[in-house]
Chains A and B, each alone.
Chain A
């Protein structure tokens, strides 16, 4: 989380996750948790109209296995939601590329956690296209 714009928002464990999203993000090995940042909130002041990504979670058992899990908690009820998440993914990649270079090379997972009911089955070709871009769709719960 070595990026000035979000560093002040760093919290231990999963404390940066909004209460409404807490039930959707579960860590099976809490001792391996490093910390978390609500990117959306941290950048709200400087990028108020950007389609900001929700969370970055630092996780790893050893230095070698450390990774950042980029999690977006977002509805999956329609094709519009798909476009929104696609827009957020593009934003995240661009932000990592231009403003968060220290985090641009970290081992990572980029994950969409669905809220509400989903209108995409797990084998939906549209989701497959997003996965091909590096985005995981984990349904209603992220467990790691």
Chain B
């Protein structure tokens, strides 16, 4: 089960946290404050059996009686210290014992969480332009990174090798309004397709005229986004089924990576689509643009604004598909939560209200994401007025 509430003490850099997840939950905070570890912990708690099964399937062994070894197998090399003797983890009020998580045995193999890691660019081998499978990573790489690469490889071989081998845009994949936004903001009108060169499959971008472009010449944003898009394909099946099998939660780390603000908006449309289909979505971000979207949705809801505000936010057309997407984003039952992972004290603050006038500087500065911009603006204001005689 995906936890609704997670309480942590002394877990990695997190000294204290009490997280109540919403339908859309966003983690912000400086580097190395525990955002990614916490998201990986959610995956471990929800999918223990599936993780054990995958590790076994790929010949990864760990000593059941040595829980720290299991921690580094899951979280990555050097991470065994994040879960120590003084660590307390409570999931929905139930204390979690690391020993029991590490123990082999008969478990439920159902997978609830699809994890799109920040290191998603590693899912494509730059030399071959094709996907890395589980075996193609180092043993010390985090489980979620290896698992993601393997899932994309399987998705490509199972679902993307059709006749025309066009990966994007596909008429059966994604809503048209989202396809159009992605095509314009991220792909610049190019299509993404699979071609074979000397018998080796590879992903390429294809302009309307001229030669195809291999992975190494794509823009940084395109290299980062394509694995995210394919992760979304895994979550958004091409049929009329809204969700894939047992998956309930999509975790997307640093959704904005490498993207221009216009492209971030397009990527956030994918998040809205996931919400509309009933997924929970947990994001981490360093982008004030992502929090702008969350803030706007919160205020639109509070003001009982109608769906046209959401369409205007994302520059969506006035058609039925876009209206339904926008209406779903305003559904008050889908709670929006924002947590700030603070470095100094190792605590996690609920800053969901995102009020720029809050007396709590962490909330008004959006966990540091707008603090600098505000500080710059105020320094400019001081420089403009200080000591000046108004003529």
Partner of A122, one of B366, B380, B387, B389: B366
Please list 26 pairs of residues, one from A and one from B, whose beta carbons are closer than 8 Å in the complex, sorted by A's number. A23-B359, A24-B359, A97-B390, A105-B389, A107-B386, A107-B387, A109-B382, A109-B386, A115-B357, A117-B357, A118-B357, A120-B356, A121-B356, A121-B370, A122-B364, A122-B365, A122-B377, A123-B288, A127-B377, A131-B380, A132-B381, A133-B384, A134-B388, A135-B381, A139-B364, A140-B357
- Binary CB contact string for chain B from 339 to 376 against chain A (1 if under 8 A, 0 otherwise): 00000000000000101111101001110001101100
Question: Taking the nearest CB of chain A, how far is it from the CB of B41, in angstroms?
Answer: 31
CB-defined contacts of A93 to chain B, threshold 8 Å: 390
Nearest chain-B residue to A96 (Cβ)? B390
Tally chain A residues at the interface, Cβ within 8 Å: 39
CB–CB B371/A132 < 8 A: no
Nearest chain-B residue to A77 (Cβ)? B357
Nearest chain-A residue to B364 (Cβ)? A139
Task: Flag whether B378 is at the interface (Cβ < 8 A).
Answer: yes
CB–CB B299/A119 < 8 A: yes
Question: Taking the nearest CB of chain A, how far is it from the CB of B48, in angstroms?
Answer: 40
Partner of A131, one of B356, B357, B366, B381: B381
CB-defined contacts of B374 to chain A, threshold 8 Å: 122-123, 137, 139
Task: Flag whether A32 is at the interface (Cβ < 8 A).
Answer: no
CB–CB B357/A139 < 8 A: yes
CB–CB A104/B382 < 8 A: no
Q: How far is the CA of A128 from the CA of B379 in the complex (A)?
A: 11
Task: Flag whether B391 is at the interface (Cβ < 8 A).
Answer: yes
**Known: A120-B356, A121-B356. Contact between A137 and B390, CB under 8 A?**
no
CB–CB B381/A134 < 8 A: yes
Q: How far is the CA of A93 from the CA of B366 in the complex (A)?
A: 32
Q: How far is the CA of A119 from the CA of B303 in the complex (A)?
A: 11
CB–CB A109/B385 < 8 A: yes
Q: How far is the CA of A24 from the CA of B365 in the complex (A)?
A: 16
CB–CB B390/A104 < 8 A: yes
Q: How far is the CA of A104 from the CA of B382 in the complex (A)?
A: 15
Chain A residues with CB under 8 Å of chain B are 23-24, 67, 76, 93-94, 96-97, 104-110, 114-123, 127-128, 130-141
Partner of B377, one of A97, A105, A118, A128: A128
- By CB atoms of chain B within 10 A, which of A93, A115, A119, A136 has the most? A136
Nearest chain-A residue to B370 (Cβ)? A122
CB–CB B355/A140 < 8 A: yes
Q: How far is the CA of A85 from the CA of B355 in the complex (A)?
A: 19
CB-defined contacts of A67 to chain B, threshold 8 Å: 386
CB–CB A76/B384 < 8 A: no
Task: Flag whether B292 is at the interface (Cβ < 8 A).
Answer: yes
Partner of A105, one of B299, B355, B361, B387: B387
Question: Taking the nearest CB of chain B, how far is it from the CB of A66, in angstroms?
Answer: 11
Q: How far is the CA of A127 from the CA of B385 in the complex (A)?
A: 15
Q: A24-B359, A134-B388 are in contact. List 7 more A-B contacts (CB 8 A).
A: A97-B390, A105-B387, A114-B357, A122-B366, A134-B385, A139-B359, A141-B361
Q: How far is the CA of A117 from the CA of B391 in the complex (A)?
A: 35
Q: How far is the CA of A140 from the CA of B381 in the complex (A)?
A: 18
CB–CB B381/A136 < 8 A: yes
CB-defined contacts of B356 to chain A, threshold 8 Å: 76, 114, 118, 120-122, 139
